[in-house]
């Protein structure tokens, strides 16, 4: 994705470095792209080349126009917040600093170093599965997806700047030898099930983040076997390879938030262990870029940097007075927790699933027969996931992304709980019918408000989420004129990054506070 954000982040309209030309000469220089260096295997990517190709091949498209609208909105948001910051008096800041200091002390008191969490992440999962099925692909740049959009790319392709969520035609421009392989989710699900058999040996109650990642509490297995966490991580990775022929990476830390960060450090086929020691944790997060934290997306990163000058997790604490002044208590607590290196450590048995969702991205179409077919596939997937978990839900949400990248959501809260594909499809069709005729490039379905769900009573009423927009009433519609600013509502970040074709079976830790409808 491209966001014209250099001036927003730096607050500078200066020309490029001497000898490099001006922004007029090199317009791509003023665009911030997430297509570089964010993935393992992309450290040596020629960032400017990727920026230039993305800019030149996107210019004038509906996607490009939508990105410009979003950038204008984000810039306005940042400008408004800067004005509000400037209007804070010393008395205001002193007051909010006291609030922040009190909350930081309370959060520090909640630090739990008694648990050992392991996050396991399969390496380029879809691409690795396809290579396993077709060994002739080994060593060749390859991506799973189509000319419209990629789900993932192998490490050979990433060296050229090719990555998940990138349109295939741009990827082909970056890497002319790129091989495209169509997605096969039955195959990926099969291999995912094999990996989960291994995970279950170490933690029967592991949390599956998506098809290719999971969180395991390995505290008890370490204690019972009197072994170190790094040994368990190595043994688990060897077990996954023996069972599937695929490699994975692991991160070990005192909580899930940090374990996920650690699993990305030595990718592919590596591991990193962060000791259960407060000083080690504080040192680790002191220089950690905020974007490395799950729950801080592109938009939030821009706002934190552009308004408050926050680039690292440690700076969350340094600017805590501003954070408490401008954010709700729950969001401020999250940001301060990030600065302290705190994350969730509770066992899965006491956690309550909030939602199960699935979505499909495809070439934009008005074909109602095709749209209903996609809807039927999603209903079957959701029903299978729900019945596997023994869940029934009352609220069904339909998500649509139009050909012009506008995101729409409709929801219905039913009188009875449902779980069958027939019931899900029946109500989903009604929600879709209300939007027809329409040209769509993505359809998503989500079921929430499960039987026995006790989460809602604990939520912070001051914290706005997409739920506020889509579940207040029998049938509601939310249509954002600045859609998809940080669109993770139905998205699993693990493999697709931008919801090429994702399945999400729960909410882990925190969400981006500027996510989707929150803006």
- Last residue in a domain, options 222, 248, 273: 273
Specify the 3-state DSSP secondary structure of 442. strand
User: Does residue 403 form part of some domain?
Assistant: yes
Residues 132 and 252 placed together within one structural domain of the fold: yes
User: Does residue 263 form part of some domain?
Assistant: yes
User: Given 213, 301, 314, 406, which residue is catalytic?
Assistant: 213
Residues 126 and 232 placed together within one structural domain of the fold: yes
User: Does residue 58 form part of some domain?
Assistant: no
Helices then strands, each counted (H, E), the chain:
19, 16
pLDDT computed for residue 234 by the predictor: 98
User: Does residue 251 form part of some domain?
Assistant: yes
DSSP string covering 297-358: -HHHHHHHHHHH---BSHHHHHTHHHHHHHS-HHHHHHHHHHHHT------GGG----EEEE
User: Does residue 48 form part of some domain?
Assistant: no
Residues 188 and 253 placed together within one structural domain of the fold: yes
pLDDT computed for residue 32 by the predictor: 53
For residue 381, give the CATH number of its domain.
Answer: 3.30.1490.100
pLDDT computed for residue 16 by the predictor: 37
**Chain CA centroid to CA 156, Å:** 23
Residues 320 and 408 placed together within one structural domain of the fold: no
Residues 197 and 267 placed together within one structural domain of the fold: yes
pLDDT computed for residue 30 by the predictor: 55
Q: Note whether 344 and 255 are within 8 A (CB).
A: yes
- Last residue in a domain, options 321, 349, 377: 349
pLDDT computed for residue 232 by the predictor: 98
- 266 secondary structure, DSSP code: T
Domain limits for position 377: 355-451
Specify the 3-state DSSP secondary structure of 8. helix
Residues 248 and 340 placed together within one structural domain of the fold: no
Pick the closest to residue 333 from 99, 116, 82 (CA basis).
Answer: 99
pLDDT computed for residue 31 by the predictor: 54
CA-CA distance, 256 to 351, in Å (whole number)? 13
Q: Which residue has the tokens 């409808």?
A: 517
User: Does residue 492 form part of some domain?
Assistant: no
- Last residue in a domain, options 248, 273, 298: 273
Partners of residue 143 on adjacent β-strands = 153, 180
pLDDT mean values, one per 10 residues, the chain (519 residues): 37 40 57 57 81 81 79 91 95 96 97 97 97 96 92 93 89 96 92 96 92 95 97 98 98 97 96 97 96 89 94 97 95 96 78 78 89 92 86 94 89 93 94 93 92 50 36 40 31 30 38 41
Residues 305 and 359 placed together within one structural domain of the fold: no
Residues 234 and 126 placed together within one structural domain of the fold: yes
For residue 249, give the CATH number of its domain.
Answer: 3.30.70.270
CA-CA distance, 470 to 485, in Å (whole number)? 17
Residues 240 and 331 placed together within one structural domain of the fold: no
Residues 283 and 236 placed together within one structural domain of the fold: no
CA-CA distance, 133 to 97, in Å (whole number)? 57
User: Does residue 102 form part of some domain?
Assistant: yes
DSSP string covering 15-50: PPSTTS--TTT-GGGG-EETTSSSSTT-TT--HHHH
Residues 408 and 332 placed together within one structural domain of the fold: no
First to last CA, the chain: 18
User: Does residue 377 form part of some domain?
Assistant: yes
43 flagged as catalytic: no
Number of independent structural domains in the chain: 3
Residues 104 and 199 placed together within one structural domain of the fold: no
């Amino acid at each position: 994705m491209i966001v014209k954000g250099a001036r927003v982040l730096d607050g500078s309209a200066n020309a490029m470095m001497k000898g490099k030309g001006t922004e007029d000469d090199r317009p791509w220089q003023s665009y911030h792209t997430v297509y570089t260096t964010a993935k393992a295997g992309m450290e040596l990517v020629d960032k400017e080349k990727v920026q230039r190709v993305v800019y030149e091949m996107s210019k004038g498209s509906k996607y490009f126009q939508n990105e410009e609208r979003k950038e204008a909105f984000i810039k306005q948001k940042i400008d408004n917040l800067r004005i509000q910051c400037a209007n804070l008096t010393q008395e205001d800041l002193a007051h909010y600093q006291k609030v922040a200091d009190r909350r930081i002390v309370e959060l520090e008191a909640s630090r739990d170093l008694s648990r050992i969490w392991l996050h396991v992440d399969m390496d380029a999962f879809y691409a690795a599965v396809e290579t396993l099925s077709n060994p002739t692909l080994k060593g060749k740049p390859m991506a799973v997806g189509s000319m419209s959009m990629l789900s993932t790319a192998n490490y050979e392709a990433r060296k050229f700047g090719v990555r998940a969520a990138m349109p295939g035609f741009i990827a082909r421009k970056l890497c002319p030898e790129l091989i495209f392989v169509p997605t096969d989710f039955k195959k990926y699900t099969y291999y995912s099930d094999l990996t989960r058999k291994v995970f279950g040996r170490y933690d029967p109650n592991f949390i599956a983040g998506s098809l290719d990642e999971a969180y395991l509490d390995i505290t008890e297995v370490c204690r019972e076997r009197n072994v170190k966490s790094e040994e368990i991580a190595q043994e688990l990775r060897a077990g996954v390879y023996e069972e599937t022929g695929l490699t994975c990476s692991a991160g070990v830390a005192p909580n899930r938030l940090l374990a996920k960060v650690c699993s990305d450090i030595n990718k592919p086929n590596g591991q990193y262990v962060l000791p259960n020691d407060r000083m080690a944790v504080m040192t680790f997060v002191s220089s950690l870029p905020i974007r490395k934290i799950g729950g801080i997306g592109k938009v939030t990163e821009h706002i934190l940097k552009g308004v408050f000058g926050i680039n690292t997790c440690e700076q969350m604490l340094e600017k805590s007075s501003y954070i408490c002044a401008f954010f709700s208590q729950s969001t401020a607590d999250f940001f301060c927790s990030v600065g302290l290196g705190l994350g969730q450590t509770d066992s899965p048995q006491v956690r309550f699933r909030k939602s199960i969702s699935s979505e499909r991205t495809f070439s934009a179409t008005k074909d109602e027969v095709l749209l209903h077919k996609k809807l039927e596939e999603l209903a079957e997937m959701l029903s299978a996931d729900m019945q596997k978990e023994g869940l029934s839900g009352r609220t069904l949400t339909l998500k649509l992304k139009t050909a012009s990248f506008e995101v729409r959501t409709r929801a219905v809260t039913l009188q009875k709980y449902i779980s069958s594909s027939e019931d899900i499809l029946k109500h989903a069709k009604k929600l879709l019918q209300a939007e027809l005729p329409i040209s769509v490039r993505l359809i998503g379905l989500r079921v929430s408000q499960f039987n026995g769900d006790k989460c809602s009573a604990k939520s912070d009423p001051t914290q706005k989420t997409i739920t506020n927009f889509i579940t207040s009433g029998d049938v509601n519609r939310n249509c954002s004129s600045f859609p998809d600013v940080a669109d993770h509502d139905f998205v699993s970040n693990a493999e697709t990054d931008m919801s090429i074709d994702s399945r999400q079976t729960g909410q882990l830790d925190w969400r981006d506070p500027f996510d989707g409808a929150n803006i």
